[in-house]
Amino acid sequence: MAHTGRRDAPELPDFSLLKRLARDQLIYLLEQLPGKKDLFIDADLMSLLDRIANVTTLKQHEVDKLYKVELKPIVSTSDQLCFLIRPRIQTVKWIADIVNSDKASGRFRRYKIIFTPQKFYACETVLEEQGVYGDVTTDEWAFYLLPLDDDIISLELPEFFRDNFLEGDQRWVTTAGSALRLVYSLYGPFSKVYGIGRCAKMVYESWRDQVEDGEQKARQPEIGNVFLIDRDVDFVTPLCSQVVYEGLVDDIFRIKCGSVEFGPEVTSSDKSLKVMVNSQDKVFNEIRNEHFSNVFGFLSQKARNLQTAYDKRRGMDIQQMKTFVSEELKGLKQEHRLLSLHIGASECIMKKKTKQDFQELLKTEHSLLEGFEVRECISFIEEHINRQISMIDSLRLLCLLSITENGLLPKDYRSLKAQYLQSYGIEHLLTFANLKQIGLLVEQQPGETLTVMESKVGKLVNDKTAGKLTDAFSSLAKKSNFRALSKRLVLIPKSGEEYDLRVPRDMAYIFSGAYIPLSCKLIEQVLERDGWTGLEEVTRMLNGHEFAVTGGTNGTEARIKTDPQRIILVMFLGGCTYSEISALRFLGREKGYKFIVLTTAITNSARLLEALLDNHA
Amino acid sequence: MTRPKPEDDEYWNSSKFSAFTFDDEDDEFTKMKESKRAVNSMLVDDDDDDDDVEKVSWSGEPIGSKPNFTHSFLLLQYTLAYAPELRKPKSECKDYMSDWSPEETVRRMRKGKVFSLERFRSLQEKLLLLDEAVSENDGNVITAVLIYLKKSLSKEILFRELMLREIALRHYVHYLKEMGEQKLLVELMKALGRTDDMALMQYKEHLNIKDEGQRRDFLKNCLSLPFSQDDAIHVQDHYTLLERQIIIEANDKRGDAEIFKKFPRKASILNMPIITTLYYSCFYHYGESDVSTLTISEKQYILTALGARAKLKSWFDVDSLFNTKNWLGYTKKRSPIGFHRVVDILQKNNAPVQVLQEYMNLIDDPELKLSLAQKYKCHDIVIDTYRDLKDRQQLIVYRGKVERGSKEDKKIEELLCNMQIRWKN
């Protein structure tokens, strides 16, 4: 489509190797338990395993039956049980129960736990405490990196977010360091490593430690620079509604491990269809980064082209027809299939979005980002809650309000919280406690008199002026951030100007021209400045923990802007959204970079908030 | 078993061979690592020979678009590195263990090597070990040390020391949560003086209680917990709500009343939110008694009651929701929510056009009124609004949207011919 920009972007490294590594390792581990065995797989590892090895491969290595881990009594009759699990205490306890009940009934079996990507001492302690240490052998499947696409690699560890940012448990720091080390040893050395965030810094140190006593290589690097960023540096971006096609598909249908299940309403048949959504899908590849408003036009153009191509058949002689069938028809049919799928998906998205008054929702989000008519926004949110419309959306808007306004006024906080609990259940008291802990939904401290004064002034004048006042005061107040950051980094393009979404002029296009994602803007700025110089004010407001260091090489030859120098690996700790990936792809096209996104998991507003809910047992 | 594919075969033969060569000995592994390094640097030196090396691939498969031997070698390296017997060398001499410093011990723990924590007996040594683990940022090791401290220190002492160590404390709390050690957690929170958290933690337990009677009793006991002032009110509400729900459920479960036969319940009302319960009451028990003692705003009540009565198409009830009498006895329609919202809700419940129009006419903002009237095809309102706005042009345009010869068409015709109106355009 209408993308200009530099065409000399470098080639991406080949990541399929990562899958082969993982597969071979898994097979090796299965062979460590020779003979027929039943394999129990953690539910959230199933899709992941699907990308690595199929059932045939497992069967070839004497896996007899496959079961999903459900934490219930098992029915297996096999003499050997193998468990492929994430290192979670609850799962290990369940396994210990199985072993103990076998022992009690005098049954002898061999047990093996394969932890992935690593084991934790806490898990082994459970085996010890339950008296089954030694009865169960343990192993590690060091499967850190799943390539989801040419430019996306995922650790597929959604729990990283909650464990690290809510619970303050640093168990995954070393894991992330090892993942980075694996990338380094296969595609490094890196010339520079930048980062921001407490976790980012720890991961950087862990990686450096691991490299220090490991190999020092001097081969041709395939990746130039690395940027590490914590999710809590920017919570605003993942909380916004996504309006770029790929993000929308994720928000509505939930992409899982790079594949999505389209229901009957999309396939217009009575069956659901599971498809991979990545660059291999030629239709998807052309629309994934587009603002939704362009997608219909593109798809109908594509449909017309297809019709023309089909029409060529008319007036062909036998020979031509033969060539057509053997050379073109298959491709056309494939395209046809994909096209109708994405048209179906787009229609479904439209239908759902119209039903939930999406336009009004977006208007509120944009007002919050801009700090404009905040009282109206609060009324909108209130009504959203009162009408019991989507529990997650209500929470999302509350969090956006809190972050953009540096917390809610105590009376607003009390009233909105009460109404939320009344609409969605009082047990969400626990959710609110979590959101407070992580800083997503907080009350302004009564001590912050400045803010109180501001709001009083704000009532006298209009909201826009109040927003400006917030800016003026924010450098004095302690916690303040978004509004001031947004001003300093110019995240909100001037309103009033027409924004042509078909020819985006900056990364703001991913949010209809209303907001440039903070995370991506930081990356852009740091790459441009080759460090944090000149961004001192910004890093101060972001709580610091920024760094910029030369990587594994001695740095001299790294100064030359070779191709790999323009390949940038961005590691998101705590997840990144498809919208952010689209923004980085845009930035890459503009500046001649290629970005590779390495994330602990793909996230979106729903996943992020669901991880913080505590309303169920 | 089916025979593996040829390339698999080749791979396994080779890898078994390598695994066999290296014994459990630690130094063997070191040797291997050394030779690996040698091989590595060798290969790197003649980068130009990449093409030759390409043919020698580990598994016989093409390795991506740019295959080279370094990649294949890594395959071997990783396979071996994760072979368990190599990770835990037997040869490590137990005698030396007792001399390992906190630094050395933590380093070994991080590398997955054999270690022993038993020698850290004095409190000072234990804390040094903990602080060392924390300074290395490895959560796995921090928790491992904490498990040891939990076993070897009285909880009073451990709690006291954790109070000064925020990072370690958070790991400990998370560990206890995952282990389900609720009692100890509560004690810890109490010792830390975090009473709000302690109360919430205990309150959370109610989620594990399935039986509603027991759940209600548990919530009743929660009332005495030291919640923050606001939360205490919510927990009180929670108890009151469940108590009422249990009574309602007992009566409605049989579904004798006519309304339940006409509109069977989809689910039990137990454990539903307050607003849902209110909706339920407005739907099945409207006007029976005071609906709730729970504090809700007029706005919440109107929105919910409106939804419920509209669903039942009780337009009379809908009407009376908004009627207010002033002191002269005139009725007037008043609403705490915008009438455009009222129209929205009515429309979603398939209200007839007359009902919609009545409320649409109450919208003050003519722009909003127009857009809603157009959206829901309330022609009369559109026409009247244009008339009131004296907008002749728009009226002419709108005429194209109504059916020719229809009632609306005639109405527009009449208006356009009406000489009394002073059109603005």
Average pLDDT over residues B364-384: 85
Average pLDDT over residues A498-514: 88
Does A112 or A11 have the greater pLDDT score?
A112
Query: Considering only CB atoms, which chain A residues are within 8 Å of B71?
Result: 17, 186
Taking alpha carbons only, the member of A218, A230, A214 closest to residue A182 is: A214
| A222 shares its domain with A158 | yes
| A584 shares its domain with A501 | yes
Cα nearest neighbour of B240 on chain A: A426
**Residue B99 — very low, low, confident or very high, per pLDDT cuts 50/70/90?**
confident
The nearest CA of chain A is from the CA of B371 a distance in Å of 14
Cα nearest neighbour of B12 on chain A: A28
CB contact under 8 A, A21 and B74: yes
Run of H or E including B184: helix B182-192
> Model confidence over B46-84: pLDDT tens digits?
333 333 333 333 333 333 333 344 444 454 454 444 444
pLDDT on residue A554: 47
Given B170, B235, B274, which is nearest A168 (Cβ)?
Answer: B170
Q: Before A189, cis peptide (omega within 30)?
A: yes
Query: Considering only CB atoms, which chain A residues are within 8 Å of B40?
Result: 215, 217
Domain-embedded: residue A41: yes
**Which range has the worst mean pLDDT, A3-17, B120-134, B196-210, B303-317?**
A3-17
Q: Which domain holds residue A387?
A: 361-488
> Model confidence over A247-285: pLDDT tens digits?
999 999 999 999 999 988 888 888 888 989 999 888 899
Number of domains in chain A: 4
Does B336 or A5 have the greater pLDDT score?
B336
Is A422 at the interface with chain B, CB within 8 A? yes
**Which range has the worst mean pLDDT, A19-28, A45-54, A492-501?**
A492-501
Query: Considering only CB atoms, which chain A residues are within 8 Å of B303?
Result: 383, 386-387
> Model confidence over A553-566: pLDDT tens digits?
544 444 455 667 78
| A110 shares its domain with A151 | no
| A137 shares its domain with A213 | no
pLDDT on residue B23: 38
| A482 shares its domain with A595 | no
Average pLDDT over residues A9-18: 84
- Taking 90 as the threshold, does the pLDDT of residue A316 lie above it? no
CB atoms within 10 A of CB B194: 14
Interface test with B, best of A387, A430, A435 (most B CBs within 10 A): A387
* B312: CB partners within 8 A, 6+ apart: B263, B283
Domain-embedded: residue A525: yes
- Taking 60 as the threshold, does the pLDDT of residue B15 lie above it? no
Sole residue written with tokens 């129990």: A40
CB contact under 8 A, B273 and A423: yes
Task: Characterise A512 by phi-psi region: left (phi > 0), alpha (psi -120 to 50), beta (else).
Answer: left
| A347 shares its domain with A286 | yes
> Model confidence over B263-273: pLDDT tens digits?
888 889 999 99
Complex confidence, ipTM: 0.89
CB contact under 8 A, A219 and B70: yes
CB contact under 8 A, A169 and B171: yes
Whether B197 and B182 have beta carbons less than 8 Å apart is answered as no
Which of A331, A355, A379 is a domain's end point?
Answer: A355
| A137 shares its domain with A148 | no
The nearest CA of chain A is from the CA of B358 a distance in Å of 22
Query: Considering only CB atoms, which chain B residues are within 8 Å of A387?
Result: 303, 307
The nearest CA of chain B is from the CA of A413 a distance in Å of 11
| A131 shares its domain with A216 | no
Domain-embedded: residue A21: no
Where are the alpha helices (H) located in A69-213, listed in sequence order? 89-104, 121-129, 159-161, 173-187, 198-212
| A501 shares its domain with A602 | yes
Q: Before A147, cis peptide (omega within 30)?
A: no
Query: Considering only CB atoms, which chain B residues are within 8 Å of A217?
Result: 40, 44, 70
pLDDT on residue B84: 45
pLDDT on residue B30: 47
CATH number of the domain enclosing A462: 1.25.40.850
pLDDT on residue A465: 43
Cα nearest neighbour of A187 on chain B: B71
**Residue B418 — very low, low, confident or very high, per pLDDT cuts 50/70/90?**
confident
Average pLDDT over residues B289-314: 82
A-B CB pairs within 8 A amount to 181
Domain-embedded: residue A12: no
Q: Please write down the HEC assignment for all residues of A287-338.
A: HCCCEHHHHHHHHHHHHHHHHHHHHCCCCCCHHHHHHHHHHHHHHHHHHHHH
pLDDT on residue A7: 55
Taking alpha carbons only, the member of A102, A80, A88, A87 closest to residue A31 is: A80
Query: Considering only CB atoms, which chain B residues are within 8 Å of A185?
Result: 74
Interface test with A, best of B41, B174, B201, B233 (most A CBs within 10 A): B174
- Taking 50 as the threshold, does the pLDDT of residue A460 lie above it? no
**Which range has the worst mean pLDDT, A76-80, A171-175, A406-410, A480-484?**
A480-484
Could you give the percent of chain B with pLDDT greater than 70? 75
Is A54 at the interface with chain B, CB within 8 A? no
| A133 shares its domain with A197 | no
pLDDT on residue A500: 83
Could you give the percent of chain A with pLDDT greater than 90? 55
pLDDT on residue B293: 62
Pairing of strands A152-154, A146-149: antiparallel
Which of A115, A142, A169 is a domain's end point?
Answer: A142
CATH number of the domain enclosing A136: 3.40.50.2060
| A175 shares its domain with A70 | no
Domain-embedded: residue A390: yes
CATH number of the domain enclosing A149: 3.40.50.1910
Domain-embedded: residue A299: yes
- What is the identity of the amino acid at B277? T
CA A366 to chain centre: 22
| A514 shares its domain with A440 | no
Whether A400 and A239 have beta carbons less than 8 Å apart is answered as yes
CB contact under 8 A, B11 and A169: no
Query: Considering only CB atoms, which chain A residues are within 8 Å of B70?
Result: 217, 219
CB contact under 8 A, A219 and B44: yes
Average pLDDT over residues B287-308: 79
**Exposed, middle or buried: residue A570 (CB in 10 Å: 0-12, 13-18, 19+)?**
buried
pTM of the model: 0.83
CB contact under 8 A, A169 and B337: no
Interface test with A, best of B37, B145, B178, B342 (most A CBs within 10 A): B178
CA atoms within 13 A on the CB side of B158: 21
Interface test with B, best of A129, A166, A171 (most B CBs within 10 A): A171
Rounded to an integer, what distance in angstroms lies between the CA atom of residue A303 and that of residue A313?
Answer: 16
Sole residue written with tokens 């007992």: B250
Average pLDDT over residues A299-308: 84
CATH number of the domain enclosing A343: 3.90.830.10
Average pLDDT over residues A315-322: 80
pLDDT on residue A6: 52
Domain-embedded: residue A48: yes
Domain-embedded: residue A253: no
Cα nearest neighbour of B300 on chain A: A386
- Taking 80 as the threshold, does the pLDDT of residue A238 lie above it? yes
Cα nearest neighbour of A411 on chain B: B230
Interface test with B, best of A138, A411, A426, A573 (most B CBs within 10 A): A426
CB contact under 8 A, A170 and B167: yes
> Model confidence over B239-267: pLDDT tens digits?
999 999 999 888 888 877 888 888 888 88
- Taking 80 as the threshold, does the pLDDT of residue B290 lie above it? no
Taking alpha carbons only, the member of A307, A289, A288, A287 closest to residue A298 is: A287
Could you give the percent of chain A with pLDDT greater than 70? 89
- Taking 50 as the threshold, does the pLDDT of residue A203 lie above it? yes
Pairing of strands A259-262, A594-599: unpaired
Which of A82, A116, A142 is a domain's end point?
Answer: A142
